[in-house]
Amino acid sequence: LPLPSDVSWRFAQANFQPVDVADQLTALLTVEEIAACLELLPLIRRTEIFDYLPDGIQEAVAGVVSLDSLMELLEELPSDSAADLFNYLSPDQQADLLKDLPARNRATIQHLSSYPSGTAGALMTSEISLLPTGINVQRALEILRRTATGSETIYHTYIVDPRHRLVGVVSLRELILAPPKASLDKLMTEELVTILPDEHQQEAARLVSRYDLLALPVVDESQRLLGIITYDDAMDVVEEEDTEDIHLSASVAPLETGLLRTSLVNLYRSRVMWLILLIFANLVSGVGIAFFEDTISAKVALVFFLPLLIGSGGNAGAQASTLMVRGLAVGDVGLGDWTRLLGRELLVAGALGLTMAIAVSPIGMFRGGTDIALVVGLSMVVIVLFGSLLGMSLPFLLHRLKWDPATASTPLVTTLADAGGVVTYFALATWLLGLH
Amino acid sequence: LPLPSDVSWRFAQANFQPVDVADQLTALLTVEEIAACLELLPLIRRTEIFDYLPDGIQEAVAGVVSLDSLMELLEELPSDSAADLFNYLSPDQQADLLKDLPARNRATIQHLSSYPSGTAGALMTSEISLLPTGINVQRALEILRRTATGSETIYHTYIVDPRHRLVGVVSLRELILAPPKASLDKLMTEELVTILPDEHQQEAARLVSRYDLLALPVVDESQRLLGIITYDDAMDVVEEEDTEDIHLSASVAPLETGLLRTSLVNLYRSRVMWLILLIFANLVSGVGIAFFEDTISAKVALVFFLPLLIGSGGNAGAQASTLMVRGLAVGDVGLGDWTRLLGRELLVAGALGLTMAIAVSPIGMFRGGTDIALVVGLSMVVIVLFGSLLGMSLPFLLHRLKWDPATASTPLVTTLADAGGVVTYFALATWLLGLH
């Protein structure tokens, strides 16, 4: 895209999808330039593009534009995005804006911005297309045509009773195909998947994906309809939550923005805490080694197999914990499956341990004879079993304690399995080789 | 749900969503029982539930039902699911079915089942709602009403020229709101995001998510419309691909089905190959240690710090590779960002290494005096830098070689970083402590 000073920018951007323009702006321009570019555009286009800017850039742009521009954005954005933008502002800006906003927008924004980020409530939009009970299809289509511009989607319309309680849903497809005089109450579907506003956004995304919904209604305890979560927002949540889980799996704290846009300080912060903690966890292995210093001095050849043995325990543990963390995240396994999974893991890890013992024994034989081969092989079986059971149990334990199971990261499991591996190996060696 | 022998099952299941019934059947019953349960239901309901059964169960059920039942399923299923089912069948079954299928279904199934699994073509459905050019809105709505039952979605309708080339799209919302006499050609949107049938399904899902599409049209090189990929199928692909990447991150080969449904043999197979490979990679560390056996004998206290130092290099490397693999997977970073990311990683890993050296030096001082503290601190900086640069580079290299970057799994990076760590540590110790 040409630079913002160039008026031809206005023409150039019109050929691109809003998300692509937003990406280009973010990649190439400073915050002030982005704000200047946006000011050149008509309000609807400007709002579309702004809505696709990353959160951090939205926040920064909101800090440099005029209060009038902010007001226009807040009025034009879908209510869920407007509430997010509102939450980025300073308390002073918030107070100034609330004073001047039309009453209807003010109420919506205050309501939506009150839900903590990460909940279903914070994800929902209040631009819902609604119909009353007791009308026919023709009347329903008339109402839809009149109110369509204010709704995020009209493909599913929700039917509410006079107390605003959700009683059913009807799709535009059903309305179009039904005879005009048919009763809406007979046409609508009454079995609805819904969610409470304080549930986790991941649960909302899971429901949308599982039931192939276009939109998921959010209701309060008395079934009153508060808003809807659309499939595209649910898709964004899936990507966001998976990224968070994947980063946690390597002991990286969640990043607010993409890898290239995160500041070096934040990148450092997201990594340093776990690395330091793991140093101290690794000390346990060091203490284990120090305890067996006599064994090591008596048979230095044993150290040759140390990385291989403890590495294998850590790797098997990493596999087991990763399988379990993902299984819990996608709802594939639950707390009740614990005993069944334990039995399966015992069998699989036992078989893996035996296979690896067979693979490693010839090396033991070659480096130190039958004795060493026996110690190394036996250690392998015990260490792989220990690592695997640790790896599968830790996510369950964390889940039970209401922690994120993904905290059972590969480095954590590996480190703990290492400590167990060191002790197992040298204890078996001391005992079997009579080195004490 | 009651058992299949119980006729009340037919009534009980009617109160549940098809996906929930499919899950219950899978969890509680044998393949024969599932087939028997399905036979009790009317065709449409039976098909809906069958469509939600996991692939492996669909395949097994297809093996025990009659050819007539299969035929009914193939005719009733959405074309993408029918093509998948067809691919599960034996060549004999396929030939028998093709003979008896109506010509239209036969052509569709043969065409769709020809795309290899994992491509956009294999994901698409051919039940598209289509309109010709040169008509008005009223006529368009008439056509839609008449053809709606054969389409997977009518919310986006595609406009094709007489040679079946895609020229535009119109949403049902636009049709409903436009005056009946308006020209469809003026109303339609001509800028369309499309995909070729042989592209990877992950790219299709990325486009659907990025552009918030309800459906993504699949076209051939001459712009002829072949099918569409709907948002719900795209969501399933995102989950599937993320699961595959997460499993790979711990060196687990992709599983076909969920954790509880995978057979023990498959679970063993998905884990054993990498574990054995990593044993041999770990031998490098062992050889490194053997090479420095004299250093170790001269200063056994050095072994105390071995797990801690090589563990830290592995952990920092795991963080760096995980950040990079995910960044590449979501399209957040590209091959062109390599130099910029290398510079950033150097700075961040340098800072991390220094912090960790400072954290670990007092322990070195306490265990072995200034000399050991110096060796341990210096080794920490070098090892963390080495691990991090290795971790960030390996995914890039694999991506460049057209391998899946996720193959740069945490265990692989950890193992390679370990080997580098062993050599660095003992070499520095030998040199600084004058132990050679």
Alpha-carbon dihedral sign for residues B187, B190, B195, B196: positive
Nearest chain A Cα to B360, which residue? A279
Please report the pLDDT score of residue B103 as a whole number.
Answer: 82
A136 with A65, same domain: the answer is no
Question: For A308-328, what is the mean pLDDT?
Answer: 92
Closest to A287 (Cα-Cα) out of A418, A386, A385: A418
Report how far residue B431's alpha carbon sits from residue A387's, in angstroms, rounded to the nearest whole number: 36
- pLDDT, average across residues A179-190: 93
Query: Which A positions 229-288 lie with beta carbon below 8 A of chain B?
Result: 231-232, 234-236, 238-239, 242-243, 245-247, 249-252, 258-260, 264, 267-268, 271-272, 274-276, 278-279, 282-283, 285-287
Give the confidence band of A402 by pLDDT, cuts at 50, 70, 90. confident
From the list B393, B356, B326, the residue with the least C-alpha distance to A274 is B356
Give how far A397 is from chain B: nearest CA, Å.
Answer: 18
- Partners of residue A289 in chain B, C-beta under 8 Å: 303-304, 306-307
CA-based nearest residue to B23, from B51, B64, B52: B52
Nearest to B88 by CA among B254, B256, B220, B233: B256
In whole angstroms, give the CA distance from residue B75 to residue B42: 14
Cα–Cα distances (Å) from B397 to A202, A288, B343, in that order, read: 33, 38, 17
DSSP state, residue B125: B
> How, if at all, do strands A215-219 and A156-160 pair?
unpaired
Task: State the pLDDT confidence band at A164, using cuts at 50, 70 and 90.
Answer: very high
Least CB–CB distance from B326: residue in A234, A247, A327: A247
CA distances B349 to B354, B386, B411, Å, are 8, 9, 19
Contacts of range A67-70, beta carbons closer than 8 Å, 24 or more positions apart: A67/A93, A67/A96, A67/A97, A67/A100, A69/A39, A70/A97
* Averaged pLDDT, B36-63: 89
Residues A277 and A420 reside in one and the same domain: yes
End-to-end CA distance of chain B: 74
Nearest residue on chain A to B281, alpha-carbon basis: A308
Which has more pLDDT, B196 or B147? B196
Can you say how many angstroms the Cα of residue A301 is from the centroid of all Cα atoms in its chain?
Answer: 46
Range of the domain at B165: 130-234
Distances (CA, A) of B325 to A267, B314, B328: 16, 16, 5
Share of chain A above pLDDT 70, in %: 97
In a domain, B167, yes or no: yes
Number of domains present in the structure of chain A: 3
Question: For the residues A292-302, what does the mean pLDDT come to?
Answer: 83
pLDDT at residue B28 in the model = 82
DSSP class of residue B213 equals -
Q: In chain B, what residues touch A302 (CB-CB under 8 Å)?
A: none
pLDDT value for B136: 93
A19 touches chain B (CB under 8 A): yes
In-domain check, residue B251: no
On whether both B169 and B210 belong to a single domain, the answer is yes
- Whole-complex ipTM: 0.85
Mean pLDDT of A105-110: 83
Interface check for B67 against chain A (CB to CB < 8 A): the answer is no
Residues of A numbered 398-427 whose beta carbons fall under 8 angstroms of chain B's beta carbons: which are they?
410-411, 414-415, 418-419, 422
Average pLDDT along chain B: 88
Question: Among candidates B207, B256, B247, B250, which has minimal Cα distance to B229?
Answer: B207
CATH of the domain at B221: 3.10.580.10
Specify the pLDDT at position B3: 52
Verify whether the Cβ–Cβ distance B308 to A279 is below 8 Å.
Answer: yes
Compare all CA atoms of chain B with the CA of A21 and give the residue at the minimum distance.
B211
Domain-located, residue A354: yes
CA distance B251 to chain A (A): 7
User: What is the Cα–Cα distance from A5 to A237, expressed in whole angstroms?
Assistant: 36
Burial class (CB in 10 A: 0-12, 13-18, 19+), A366: exposed
Q: Which of B181, B212, B234 is the last residue of a domain?
A: B234
Residue A6 has pLDDT above 70, yes or no: no
Residue A310 lies in a domain: yes
Residue type, B213: L
Are A224 and A283 in a shared domain?
no
Top residue of B127, B211, B303 to mutate, by most chain A CBs within 10 Å, is B303
Cβ-Cβ contacts under 8 Å, A321 against chain B: 250
Q: Which pLDDT does position A54 carry in this prediction?
A: 86
Residue numbers of B between 295 and 324 with CB closer than 8 Å to A = 296-297, 300-301, 303-308, 310-312, 314-316, 318-319, 321-324
Write out pLDDT tens, residues B358-396: 999 999 888 888 888 999 999 999 999 999 999 999 999
> Model confidence over B394-429: pLDDT tens digits?
999 999 898 888 888 889 999 999 999 999 999 999
Average pLDDT over every residue of B53-59:
87
Which pLDDT does position A436 carry in this prediction? 61
> Residue A2: pLDDT above 60?
no
Query: B119 - beta bridge partners?
Result: B200
Q: Which residues from chain B sit within 8 angstroms of residue A252, using beta carbons?
A: 319, 322-323
Same domain flag for A217 and A106: no
* Mean pLDDT score across all residues of chain A: 88
Interchain CB distance below 8 Å, B15 and A305 = no
Q: How far is CA B362 from CA A230, A273, A427, in A?
A: 54, 18, 29
Q: Determine which helix (DSSP H) or strand (DSSP E) holds B227, and give its type and residue range.
A: strand B225-230
Interface size between A and B, measured as CB pairs under 8 A = 330
pLDDT for A7? 60
Quote the CA–CA distance of A148 and A143 in Å, as a whole number: 8
Residues 324-383 of chain A with CB under 8 A from chain B are: 324-327, 330, 332-333, 337, 340-341, 344, 347-348, 351-352, 355-356, 359-360, 363
Tell whether B379 is covered by a domain: yes
Confidence of residue B94 (pLDDT cuts 50, 70, 90): confident
Contact B274 A341 (CB under 8 A): no
Joined together, the tokens standing for residue A308 give 């291989």
Q: How far apart are CA B314 and CA B386, in angstroms?
A: 9
Percent of residues, chain B, with pLDDT higher than 90: 45
- Residues B318, B427: one domain? yes
Q: What is the 3-class SS of A98-148, one letter each residue?
A: HHHCCHHHHHHHHHHCCCCCCEHHHHCECCCCEEECCCEHHHHHHHHHHHH
Strand partners, A87: none
* A258 inside domain: no
Residue A90's pLDDT is what? 86
DSSP 8-state code for residue B119: B
Set of chain B residues whose Cβ sits within 8 Å of the Cβ of A387: none
**Residue ending a domain, choose from B87, B114, B141:** B114
Pairing of β B156-160 and β B166-171: antiparallel
With b for 16 or more beta-carbon neighbours within 10 A and e for fewer, the A20-55 pattern comes to bbbbbbbeebebeebbbbbeebeeebbbbbbbbbee
Q: Cα–Cα distance between A103 and A124 in angstroms, integer? A: 20
Nearest CB to A303: which of B144, B296, B347? Answer: B296
Lateral strand order in the sheet of B166-171: B130-132, B156-160, B166-171
Judge whether B259 and B246 are in contact, CB under 8 Å. Answer: no
Decide: helix, strand or coil at residue B131.
Answer: strand
Asked if residue B2 has pLDDT above 60, the reply is no
| Closest residue to A337, CB basis, from B260, B293, B418 | B260
Q: Examine the domain organization and report whether A97 and A145 are in the same domain.
A: no
Instruction: Verify whether the Cβ–Cβ distance A279 to B312 is below 8 Å.
Output: yes
pLDDT of residue A104: 78
A42 and A107 inside one domain: yes
- What average pLDDT does the segment A178-201 reach? 93
How do residues A331-359 score in pLDDT, each as one tens digit? 888 888 888 899 999 999 999 999 999 99
Tell me which chain A residues have a C-beta less than 8 angstroms from the C-beta of B360: 279
Question: Is residue B182 situated within a structural domain?
Answer: yes
Q: Within this chain, do residues B327 and B402 fall inside the same structural domain, yes or no?
A: yes
Q: What pLDDT was estimated at residue A106?
A: 84
Examine residue B239 and state whether it is found in any structural domain, yes or no.
Answer: no
Which positions ≥6 away from B105 have C-beta within 8 Å? Answer: B74, B75, B82
Contacts of residue B333 in chain A, CB cutoff 8 Å? 258-260
Higher pLDDT, A218 or B150: A218
Pick the closest to residue A299 from A426, A164, A126, A416 (CA basis): A426
- Give the pLDDT score at B436: 61
Longest CA–CA span in chain A (Å) reads: 94
Contacts of A359 in chain B (CB under 8 A): 276, 279
Whether the predicted pLDDT of B5 surpasses 60: no
Give the list of residues 6+ apart from residue A5 with CB closer than 8 angstroms, or none.
none
Which CATH number do you get for residue A71?
Answer: 1.25.60.10
| Same domain, residue pair B346 and B420 | yes
DSSP lists the bridge partners of residue B217 as: B228
Interface of B with A in 172-211 (CB under 8 A): 172-173, 176-177, 191, 193, 208-211
CATH code, domain carrying A316: 1.10.357.20
Residue among A23, A143, A177, A303 with most chain B CBs within 10 A, to mutate? A303
Contact A230, A153 (CB under 8 A): yes
Nearest to A27 by CA among B294, B340, B105: B340
Give B127's pLDDT tier (boundaries 50, 70, 90).
confident
Span A119-162, pLDDT tens digits: 999 999 988 889 999 999 999 999 998 888 778 788 999 999 99
CB-based contact A319 B272, cutoff 8 Å: no
Among B85, B114, B143, identify where a domain stops.
B114
Mean pLDDT throughout B175-203? Answer: 93
Q: A291 and A192 in one domain? A: no
Contact B348 A418 (CB under 8 A): no
CA torsion angle B335 A51 A193 B34 (round to 10): -20
**In a shared domain, residues B102 and B138:** no
* pLDDT value at A258 more than 80: no
